[in-house]
Amino acid sequence: MTLSTHHWIVGPGALGRLIGLRLATSGSLVTLAGRRPLPERQTLITPEGTRLDATLFTTTLANLAGTPDVVHLTTKAYGAEGAHAALAPRLPAGTPLVLWQNGFGCQPRLTARHDGPVLCATTTEGAFVEGDDRVVHAGHGETLIGDLSPSSNAAHGELARTLASALTQAGLPARTVDDIRRRLWQKLAVNAAINPLVARFRILNGDLRAPRYRPLVESLIAEVAAILAAEGIDPPEGQGAPGWQALVWRVIEGTAGNRASMLQDVLAARPTEHEAILGPLLDAADAHGLQAPGLAELAAWLRQRELAGIGNCC
Ligand SMILES: NC(=O)C1=CN([C@@H]2O[C@H](COP(=O)(O)OP(=O)(O)OC[C@H]3O[C@@H](n4cnc5c(N)ncnc54)[C@H](OP(=O)(O)O)[C@@H]3O)[C@@H](O)[C@H]2O)C=CC1
Ligand SMILES: CC(C)(CO)C(=O)C(=O)O
Protein backbone atom coordinates (compact mmCIF):
# COMPACT_ATOMS: atom_id res chain seq x y z
CA MET A 1 0.00 0.00 0.00
CA THR A 2 1.33 3.43 -0.91
CA LEU A 3 0.00 6.95 -0.59
CA SER A 4 -1.75 6.57 -3.95
CA THR A 5 -3.44 3.34 -2.87
CA HIS A 6 -7.05 2.93 -3.97
CA HIS A 7 -9.27 3.08 -0.87
CA TRP A 8 -12.92 2.07 -1.01
CA ILE A 9 -15.00 3.67 1.75
CA VAL A 10 -18.22 1.75 2.32
CA GLY A 11 -20.62 3.78 4.49
CA PRO A 12 -19.95 7.37 3.41
CA GLY A 13 -21.34 9.16 6.48
CA ALA A 14 -19.49 11.43 8.89
CA LEU A 15 -16.48 9.24 9.62
CA GLY A 16 -16.31 7.67 6.14
CA ARG A 17 -16.29 11.04 4.40
CA LEU A 18 -13.77 12.45 6.89
CA ILE A 19 -11.39 9.57 6.11
CA GLY A 20 -12.17 9.67 2.38
CA LEU A 21 -11.65 13.39 1.97
CA ARG A 22 -8.52 13.46 4.08
CA LEU A 23 -7.00 10.60 2.04
CA ALA A 24 -8.12 12.09 -1.29
CA THR A 25 -6.66 15.52 -0.52
CA SER A 26 -3.32 13.90 0.29
CA GLY A 27 -3.01 12.04 -2.99
CA SER A 28 -4.86 8.74 -2.54
CA LEU A 29 -7.47 7.41 -4.91
CA VAL A 30 -10.80 7.18 -3.05
CA THR A 31 -14.18 5.67 -3.95
CA LEU A 32 -17.14 6.38 -1.66
CA ALA A 33 -19.82 3.67 -1.81
CA GLY A 34 -23.16 4.12 -0.10
CA ARG A 35 -26.77 3.04 -0.33
CA ARG A 36 -27.44 6.02 -2.57
CA PRO A 37 -25.11 8.01 -4.83
CA LEU A 38 -23.50 11.12 -3.36
CA PRO A 39 -22.18 14.16 -5.28
CA GLU A 40 -18.62 13.62 -6.54
CA ARG A 41 -17.58 17.10 -5.45
CA GLN A 42 -17.19 16.96 -1.67
CA THR A 43 -16.09 19.52 0.91
CA LEU A 44 -14.39 19.04 4.26
CA ILE A 45 -14.33 21.81 6.86
CA THR A 46 -11.31 21.38 9.11
CA PRO A 47 -11.40 22.02 12.89
CA GLU A 48 -9.51 25.24 12.13
CA GLY A 49 -12.26 26.33 9.73
CA THR A 50 -10.33 25.75 6.49
CA ARG A 51 -12.29 24.44 3.52
CA LEU A 52 -10.83 21.50 1.57
CA ASP A 53 -12.52 20.49 -1.69
CA ALA A 54 -12.02 17.22 -3.50
CA THR A 55 -13.55 15.27 -6.35
CA LEU A 56 -13.98 11.61 -5.47
CA PHE A 57 -15.47 8.61 -7.22
CA THR A 58 -18.89 8.04 -5.69
CA THR A 59 -21.10 5.06 -6.31
CA THR A 60 -23.51 2.68 -4.67
CA LEU A 61 -22.69 -0.67 -3.16
CA ALA A 62 -24.69 -2.36 -5.92
CA ASN A 63 -22.55 -0.69 -8.62
CA LEU A 64 -19.13 -1.19 -7.06
CA ALA A 65 -16.63 -2.66 -9.50
CA GLY A 66 -12.86 -2.85 -9.75
CA THR A 67 -10.09 -3.82 -7.41
CA PRO A 68 -9.46 -1.79 -4.27
CA ASP A 69 -6.22 -2.06 -2.32
CA VAL A 70 -8.11 -1.66 0.93
CA VAL A 71 -11.77 -1.34 1.98
CA HIS A 72 -12.82 0.79 4.95
CA LEU A 73 -16.17 -0.19 6.43
CA THR A 74 -17.57 2.94 8.09
CA THR A 75 -21.26 2.16 8.60
CA LYS A 76 -22.75 2.27 12.08
CA ALA A 77 -22.08 -0.92 14.04
CA TYR A 78 -25.60 -2.30 13.43
CA GLY A 79 -25.15 -1.91 9.66
CA ALA A 80 -21.68 -3.37 9.32
CA GLU A 81 -22.48 -7.04 8.83
CA GLY A 82 -25.28 -6.34 6.33
CA ALA A 83 -23.02 -4.03 4.35
CA HIS A 84 -20.23 -6.61 4.44
CA ALA A 85 -22.56 -9.35 3.19
CA ALA A 86 -23.47 -7.16 0.20
CA LEU A 87 -19.86 -6.15 -0.37
CA ALA A 88 -18.08 -9.48 -0.02
CA PRO A 89 -19.14 -10.99 -3.39
CA ARG A 90 -17.70 -7.89 -5.12
CA LEU A 91 -14.26 -8.18 -3.52
CA PRO A 92 -11.28 -10.15 -4.81
CA ALA A 93 -10.16 -12.73 -2.23
CA GLY A 94 -7.52 -11.33 0.08
CA THR A 95 -8.67 -7.68 -0.02
CA PRO A 96 -7.77 -6.00 3.28
CA LEU A 97 -10.73 -4.72 5.32
CA VAL A 98 -10.62 -2.03 8.01
CA LEU A 99 -13.46 -1.90 10.56
CA TRP A 100 -14.08 1.54 12.10
CA GLN A 101 -17.14 0.77 14.26
CA ASN A 102 -17.50 1.62 17.93
CA GLY A 103 -18.37 -1.14 20.38
CA PHE A 104 -17.24 -4.75 20.16
CA GLY A 105 -19.86 -6.64 18.18
CA CYS A 106 -19.11 -6.96 14.49
CA GLN A 107 -15.31 -6.92 14.82
CA PRO A 108 -14.68 -10.52 15.95
CA ARG A 109 -17.44 -11.86 13.69
CA LEU A 110 -16.21 -10.07 10.56
CA THR A 111 -12.60 -10.92 11.39
CA ALA A 112 -13.65 -14.58 11.27
CA ARG A 113 -15.85 -14.20 8.17
CA HIS A 114 -13.90 -11.89 5.84
CA ASP A 115 -11.78 -13.51 3.12
CA GLY A 116 -8.66 -11.40 3.71
CA PRO A 117 -6.79 -9.49 6.40
CA VAL A 118 -8.99 -7.53 8.83
CA LEU A 119 -7.83 -4.52 10.84
CA CYS A 120 -9.86 -2.75 13.52
CA ALA A 121 -9.57 0.98 14.10
CA THR A 122 -10.76 3.01 17.06
CA THR A 123 -10.68 6.77 16.77
CA THR A 124 -11.27 9.84 18.88
CA GLU A 125 -11.58 12.04 15.77
CA GLY A 126 -14.96 13.78 15.65
CA ALA A 127 -17.01 14.49 12.52
CA PHE A 128 -20.56 15.23 11.43
CA VAL A 129 -22.19 15.66 8.05
CA GLU A 130 -23.88 18.79 6.76
CA GLY A 131 -25.82 17.59 3.74
CA ASP A 132 -24.70 15.18 1.05
CA ASP A 133 -21.62 17.09 -0.07
CA ARG A 134 -20.10 18.45 3.12
CA VAL A 135 -18.51 16.98 6.24
CA VAL A 136 -17.26 18.90 9.25
CA HIS A 137 -14.14 17.63 11.01
CA ALA A 138 -15.26 18.81 14.44
CA GLY A 139 -12.21 17.95 16.50
CA HIS A 140 -8.79 16.36 16.19
CA GLY A 141 -8.17 13.01 17.85
CA GLU A 142 -6.07 9.91 17.47
CA THR A 143 -6.65 6.64 15.68
CA LEU A 144 -5.36 3.28 16.92
CA ILE A 145 -5.14 0.37 14.49
CA GLY A 146 -4.52 -3.32 15.07
CA ASP A 147 -5.88 -6.77 14.44
CA LEU A 148 -7.60 -9.21 16.74
CA SER A 149 -4.92 -11.89 16.60
CA PRO A 150 -3.18 -12.61 19.94
CA SER A 151 -0.89 -9.67 20.77
CA SER A 152 2.32 -11.70 20.69
CA ASN A 153 1.53 -12.68 17.11
CA ALA A 154 -0.10 -9.67 15.43
CA ALA A 155 -0.86 -11.04 11.98
CA HIS A 156 -1.13 -7.95 9.83
CA GLY A 157 1.42 -5.62 11.41
CA GLU A 158 2.93 -4.37 8.15
CA LEU A 159 -0.49 -3.58 6.69
CA ALA A 160 -1.49 -1.74 9.89
CA ARG A 161 1.74 0.30 9.88
CA THR A 162 1.32 1.31 6.24
CA LEU A 163 -2.28 2.35 6.81
CA ALA A 164 -1.39 4.28 9.98
CA SER A 165 1.28 6.12 8.04
CA ALA A 166 -1.08 6.97 5.15
CA LEU A 167 -3.72 8.28 7.59
CA THR A 168 -1.16 10.29 9.54
CA GLN A 169 0.16 11.91 6.36
CA ALA A 170 -3.43 12.68 5.41
CA GLY A 171 -3.94 14.64 8.65
CA LEU A 172 -5.50 11.90 10.80
CA PRO A 173 -2.76 10.92 13.28
CA ALA A 174 -2.77 7.13 13.63
CA ARG A 175 -0.58 4.48 15.20
CA THR A 176 -0.57 0.73 15.43
CA VAL A 177 -1.23 -1.12 18.68
CA ASP A 178 -0.86 -4.80 19.49
CA ASP A 179 -3.83 -4.80 21.88
CA ILE A 180 -6.69 -3.45 19.78
CA ARG A 181 -9.19 -5.76 21.53
CA ARG A 182 -8.40 -4.07 24.86
CA ARG A 183 -8.53 -0.60 23.25
CA LEU A 184 -11.96 -1.33 21.74
CA TRP A 185 -13.26 -2.52 25.12
CA GLN A 186 -11.83 0.56 26.84
CA LYS A 187 -13.72 2.87 24.47
CA LEU A 188 -16.81 0.69 24.85
CA ALA A 189 -16.54 1.06 28.65
CA VAL A 190 -16.55 4.85 28.37
CA ASN A 191 -19.41 4.79 25.89
CA ALA A 192 -21.43 2.43 28.11
CA ALA A 193 -21.07 4.67 31.17
CA ILE A 194 -21.99 7.87 29.31
CA ASN A 195 -24.05 7.35 26.15
CA PRO A 196 -27.17 5.49 27.35
CA LEU A 197 -27.61 7.80 30.35
CA VAL A 198 -27.32 11.02 28.37
CA ALA A 199 -29.63 9.56 25.72
CA ARG A 200 -32.15 8.48 28.38
CA PHE A 201 -32.24 11.88 30.09
CA ARG A 202 -31.53 13.98 26.96
CA ILE A 203 -28.68 15.85 28.58
CA LEU A 204 -25.18 17.00 27.62
CA ASN A 205 -22.23 14.89 28.76
CA GLY A 206 -21.25 17.52 31.35
CA ASP A 207 -24.71 17.39 32.98
CA LEU A 208 -23.74 13.95 34.33
CA ARG A 209 -21.66 15.80 36.96
CA ALA A 210 -24.87 17.07 38.62
CA PRO A 211 -25.86 15.44 41.96
CA ARG A 212 -28.95 13.92 40.33
CA TYR A 213 -26.92 11.92 37.77
CA ARG A 214 -23.53 11.38 39.46
CA PRO A 215 -24.65 8.29 41.48
CA LEU A 216 -26.09 6.74 38.31
CA VAL A 217 -22.76 7.17 36.51
CA GLU A 218 -20.88 5.77 39.51
CA SER A 219 -23.08 2.72 39.68
CA LEU A 220 -22.71 2.04 35.93
CA ILE A 221 -18.93 2.38 36.25
CA ALA A 222 -18.99 -0.15 39.12
CA GLU A 223 -20.91 -2.64 36.93
CA VAL A 224 -18.58 -2.07 33.97
CA ALA A 225 -15.48 -2.37 36.17
CA ALA A 226 -16.61 -5.72 37.62
CA ILE A 227 -17.38 -7.12 34.17
CA LEU A 228 -14.09 -5.96 32.67
CA ALA A 229 -12.13 -7.29 35.65
CA ALA A 230 -13.71 -10.69 34.98
CA GLU A 231 -12.74 -10.34 31.29
CA GLY A 232 -9.15 -9.43 32.25
CA ILE A 233 -9.36 -5.94 30.70
CA ASP A 234 -7.57 -3.16 32.58
CA PRO A 235 -8.26 0.57 32.32
CA PRO A 236 -5.63 2.54 30.36
CA GLU A 237 -4.27 4.04 33.60
CA GLY A 238 -4.63 2.90 37.20
CA GLN A 239 -6.25 -0.31 38.34
CA GLY A 240 -9.78 -1.67 38.58
CA ALA A 241 -12.76 0.52 39.50
CA PRO A 242 -10.70 3.64 40.45
CA GLY A 243 -8.97 3.47 37.05
CA TRP A 244 -12.32 3.25 35.22
CA GLN A 245 -13.76 6.05 37.37
CA ALA A 246 -10.83 8.33 36.55
CA LEU A 247 -11.14 7.55 32.82
CA VAL A 248 -14.90 8.07 32.58
CA TRP A 249 -14.93 11.31 34.60
CA ARG A 250 -11.98 12.62 32.57
CA VAL A 251 -13.92 12.02 29.35
CA ILE A 252 -17.07 13.61 30.82
CA GLU A 253 -15.02 16.67 31.79
CA GLY A 254 -13.28 16.84 28.42
CA THR A 255 -16.51 16.47 26.45
CA ALA A 256 -18.79 18.40 28.85
CA GLY A 257 -20.37 20.44 26.07
CA ASN A 258 -20.94 17.41 23.76
CA ARG A 259 -24.23 15.96 22.71
CA ALA A 260 -23.10 12.30 22.66
CA SER A 261 -23.64 10.24 19.52
CA MET A 262 -26.35 8.10 21.14
CA LEU A 263 -28.27 11.19 22.25
CA GLN A 264 -28.01 12.56 18.71
CA ASP A 265 -29.43 9.27 17.41
CA VAL A 266 -32.30 9.35 19.92
CA LEU A 267 -33.14 12.99 19.12
CA ALA A 268 -33.10 12.20 15.40
CA ALA A 269 -35.29 9.08 15.94
CA ARG A 270 -32.55 6.82 14.54
CA PRO A 271 -31.48 3.40 15.84
CA THR A 272 -28.62 3.53 18.34
CA GLU A 273 -25.46 1.44 18.64
CA HIS A 274 -26.64 -0.03 21.96
CA GLU A 275 -26.27 -3.67 20.84
CA ALA A 276 -22.59 -3.12 20.03
CA ILE A 277 -21.88 -1.16 23.23
CA LEU A 278 -24.07 -2.71 25.93
CA GLY A 279 -24.54 -6.14 24.33
CA PRO A 280 -20.94 -7.37 24.80
CA LEU A 281 -20.94 -6.17 28.43
CA LEU A 282 -24.22 -7.92 29.23
CA ASP A 283 -23.07 -11.11 27.48
CA ALA A 284 -19.84 -11.03 29.49
CA ALA A 285 -21.80 -10.37 32.72
CA ASP A 286 -23.93 -13.45 31.97
CA ALA A 287 -20.90 -15.57 31.18
CA HIS A 288 -19.26 -14.62 34.49
CA GLY A 289 -22.45 -14.82 36.59
CA LEU A 290 -22.39 -11.09 37.36
CA GLN A 291 -25.38 -8.81 37.91
CA ALA A 292 -25.54 -5.61 35.84
CA PRO A 293 -28.98 -4.16 36.57
CA GLY A 294 -28.20 -0.59 35.51
CA LEU A 295 -26.74 -1.62 32.15
CA ALA A 296 -29.57 -4.12 31.62
CA GLU A 297 -32.25 -1.51 32.33
CA LEU A 298 -30.73 0.98 29.89
CA ALA A 299 -30.33 -1.72 27.22
CA ALA A 300 -33.98 -2.71 27.70
CA TRP A 301 -35.08 0.93 27.33
CA LEU A 302 -33.02 1.37 24.15
CA ARG A 303 -34.30 -1.95 22.73
CA GLN A 304 -37.89 -1.10 23.60
CA ARG A 305 -37.58 2.29 21.94
CA GLU A 306 -36.59 0.58 18.70
CA LEU A 307 -39.25 -2.12 18.95
CA ALA A 308 -41.84 0.60 19.50
CA GLY A 309 -40.89 2.39 16.30
CA ILE A 310 -38.01 4.47 17.62
CA GLY A 311 -39.36 8.00 17.88
CA ASN A 312 -42.74 7.05 19.29
CA CYS A 313 -41.55 5.63 22.53
CA CYS A 314 -40.60 7.14 25.89
N1 LIG B 1 -18.80 10.45 13.55
C2 LIG B 1 -17.79 10.37 14.41
O3 LIG B 1 -17.22 11.42 14.82
C4 LIG B 1 -17.29 9.05 14.92
C5 LIG B 1 -17.92 7.86 14.58
N6 LIG B 1 -17.41 6.68 15.08
C7 LIG B 1 -18.02 5.41 14.71
O8 LIG B 1 -17.97 5.26 13.30
C9 LIG B 1 -19.10 4.54 12.82
C10 LIG B 1 -19.81 5.38 11.76
O11 LIG B 1 -20.31 6.54 12.40
P12 LIG B 1 -20.79 7.84 11.60
O13 LIG B 1 -19.94 8.08 10.44
O14 LIG B 1 -20.95 8.90 12.61
O15 LIG B 1 -22.23 7.35 11.12
P16 LIG B 1 -23.13 7.92 9.93
O17 LIG B 1 -24.51 7.53 10.21
O18 LIG B 1 -22.80 9.38 9.72
O19 LIG B 1 -22.58 7.15 8.66
C20 LIG B 1 -22.91 5.82 8.37
C21 LIG B 1 -22.99 5.73 6.88
O22 LIG B 1 -23.15 4.36 6.51
C23 LIG B 1 -24.08 4.32 5.45
N24 LIG B 1 -24.63 2.97 5.34
C25 LIG B 1 -25.45 2.33 6.18
N26 LIG B 1 -25.69 1.07 5.74
C27 LIG B 1 -25.00 0.94 4.58
C28 LIG B 1 -24.86 -0.10 3.64
N29 LIG B 1 -25.48 -1.28 3.78
N30 LIG B 1 -24.05 0.10 2.57
C31 LIG B 1 -23.41 1.28 2.40
N32 LIG B 1 -23.52 2.32 3.25
C33 LIG B 1 -24.31 2.15 4.33
C34 LIG B 1 -25.11 5.37 5.82
O35 LIG B 1 -25.88 5.69 4.68
P36 LIG B 1 -27.32 6.38 4.74
O37 LIG B 1 -27.01 7.84 4.55
O38 LIG B 1 -27.99 5.76 3.58
O39 LIG B 1 -27.92 6.04 6.07
C40 LIG B 1 -24.17 6.49 6.26
O41 LIG B 1 -23.70 7.20 5.14
C42 LIG B 1 -19.98 4.27 14.06
O43 LIG B 1 -19.71 2.99 14.57
C44 LIG B 1 -19.51 5.34 15.05
O45 LIG B 1 -19.72 4.96 16.41
C46 LIG B 1 -16.31 6.63 15.88
C47 LIG B 1 -15.68 7.78 16.24
C48 LIG B 1 -16.10 9.08 15.80
C1 LIG C 1 -16.94 9.85 24.39
C2 LIG C 1 -18.29 10.24 23.84
C3 LIG C 1 -19.37 9.91 24.83
C4 LIG C 1 -18.19 11.72 23.63
O5 LIG C 1 -19.42 12.33 23.38
C6 LIG C 1 -18.54 9.48 22.55
O7 LIG C 1 -17.67 8.76 22.10
C8 LIG C 1 -19.81 9.55 21.83
O9 LIG C 1 -20.47 10.58 21.80
O10 LIG C 1 -20.16 8.50 21.24
pLDDT digits (tens, 9 = 90+) for 189-210: 999 999 999 999 999 999 999 9
Residue 191 Cα to ligand 2 middle (Å) = 6
Nearest to 82 by CA among 103, 59, 106: 106
Rounded to the nearest whole angstrom, what is the distance from the C-alpha of residue 283 to the centroid of ligand 2? 22
pLDDT at 152: 58
pTM of the shown model: 0.96
Q: What was the pLDDT predicted at 1?
A: 63
> pLDDT at position 221, please?
98
CB of 123 within 6 A of ligand 1: the answer is yes
Rounded to an integer, what distance in angstroms lies between the CA atom of residue 277 and that of residue 177? 21
Residue 214 pLDDT:
98
Please give the pLDDT value at position 288.
98
Q: Which atom of ligand 2 is nearest to the CA of 195?
A: 3
Active-site hit among 187, 200, 274, 305: 187
Q: Which of 125, 191, 259 maximizes ligand 2 atoms within 8 Å of its Cβ, making it the mutation to test the pocket?
A: 191
Output the CA 126–ligand 1 centroid distance in Å. Answer: 12
Is any ligand 1 atom within 6 A of the Cβ of residue 195? no
**Fold category of 181-308 in CATH:** N-(1-d-carboxylethyl)-l-norvaline Dehydrogenase; domain 2 (1.10.1040)
One-letter amino acid for residue 192 of the chain: A
Is the CB of residue 20 below 6 angstroms from any atom belonging to ligand 1?
no
Active site annotation includes 76 = no
Query: Ligand 1: does its nearest atom lie under 6 Å from the Cβ of 129?
Result: yes
Give the closest residue (by CA) to ligand 2 atom 9: 260
Domain regions of the chain by residue span? 6-178, 181-308
Give the domain 6-178 fold.
Answer: Rossmann fold (3.40.50)
Per-residue pLDDT of the chain (314 residues; tens, 9 = 90+): 664 689 999 999 999 999 999 999 999 999 999 999 999 999 999 999 999 999 999 999 999 988 999 999 999 999 999 999 999 999 999 999 999 999 999 999 999 999 999 999 999 999 999 999 999 999 999 999 999 987 656 789 999 999 999 999 999 999 999 999 999 999 999 999 999 999 999 999 999 999 999 999 999 999 999 999 999 999 999 999 999 999 999 999 999 999 999 999 999 999 999 999 999 999 999 999 999 999 999 999 999 999 888 755 55
Q: Which ligand 2 atom lies nearest to the CA of residue 198?
A: 3
Amino acid at 313: C
Element at 111 (helix H, strand E): helix 106-113
10 pocket-lining for ligand 1 (C-beta < 6 Å): yes
Nearest Cα neighbor of 197 from 238, 233, 248 is 248
Q: Which residues line ligand 2 (CB under 6 A)?
A: 190-191, 194-195, 205, 251, 255, 258, 260-261
Q: What is the DSSP string of 169-218?
A: HTT--EEE-S-HHHHHHHHHHHHHHHHHHHHHHT--GGGGGSTTTHHHHH
Ligand 2 midpoint to CA 131 (Å): 22
What angle in degrees, to the nearest 10, is found between the helix axes of 77-87 and 106-113? 10
Q: What is the ipTM of this complex?
A: 0.98
pLDDT computed for residue 237 by the predictor: 96
> Comparing C-alpha atoms, which of 122, 127, 117, 160 is closest to residue 142?
122
